[in-house]
Amino acid sequence: MLESPSLSLAALLLSDSTVHSIPYLASHKMLVICIVIQFAKLSGFSPIIVTASKQNEAYLKSLGATHVIDRNIPLADLPASVKAVTKKPIKVSYDAISEPETQNATYDVLAPGGGGHCYVLPEAIDKDKIKSDKEITRPYGNVHAPSTRDIGRSLYAKLTGLIEAGDIKVWSYVHVVLTGTNLTLQPNNVEVLPNGLAGIPEGLEKLRKGVSALKLVARPQETI
């Protein structure tokens, strides 16, 4: 987890002591967005607008999202949906899906002049729409490289305290490693499938039925 795109973004946000009272747009991939939302909130972004399944709206708002836009709307309608939430220009967007369609849609939402678009897969924005005043960034989830060590120091200097205070909710294992104490509340809900690998068909059926905000885990050693 400590090498994830969401954590590298977090380092960028928390390394700046300025409070950003500006809108922030994040498009789901659910388990990543759970962490991204919390860091955006800690960094002072407001409103925090998320595209996700409406069935997860209450859960995402409990983590810090202020508005949830239905992920099933046509991407062409995303700019209008965002404008219905806030008239302020969108300066930062984080695309956790990063398919060509979502990259172009979130890039279109960005305001000209200082806008920043962060994506996690290779860039796929139409070349004819790229503007010099909209910054495009791909997160690099390694704080040990020479170019990222300063950001890493800033992140890790704050991370344990944020987890201890409950400002960031993480997996129980990570919480124990960093603080030495147990954690009962975690943002990424987990369901262990029964019977090891034999439980995978059941998990696939859950996915076909639209389960989300839930990590399905099969333990090979429990196969019967």
pLDDT digits (tens, 9 = 90+) for 164-216: 777 766 544 444 444 555 443 345 677 889 999 999 999 999 989 888 777 88
**Stronger pLDDT, 91 or 169, i.e. the higher one:** 91
Neighbours of 17 (CB within 10 A): 8
* pLDDT average, residue stretch 26-32: 68
CA–CA gap between residue 101 and residue 67 (Å, rounded): 22
Which stretch of DSSP H or E encloses residue 142? none
Q: For residue 109, give the nearest of 65, 49, 37 by alpha carbon.
A: 49
β partners of residue 136: 117
The model's confidence at residue 28, banded by pLDDT at 50, 70 and 90, is low
Average pLDDT, the chain: 76
| Assigned token pair, 107 | 């890039």
Q: Does this model's pTM top 0.75? A: no
Q: Which fold has domain 5-137?
A: Rossmann fold (3.40.50)
**Stronger pLDDT, 154 or 16, i.e. the higher one:** 154
CA–CA gap between residue 19 and residue 21 (Å, rounded): 6
- 3 state DSSP class of 125: coil
Regarding beta strands 24-27 and 67-70, do their DSSP bridges make them parallel or antiparallel, or are they unpaired? unpaired
Q: Is 17 a residue whose pLDDT tops 50?
A: no
| Assigned token pair, 93 | 């967007």
Domain ranges across the chain: 5-137, 189-222
Structure confidence by residue, pLDDT tens digits, 119-136: 677 788 888 888 888 878
pLDDT of residue 24: 66
pLDDT of residue 96: 82
CB 193 within 8 Å of CB 216: yes
β partners of residue 120: none
CB 163 within 8 Å of CB 170: yes
**Stronger pLDDT, 6 or 160, i.e. the higher one:** 160
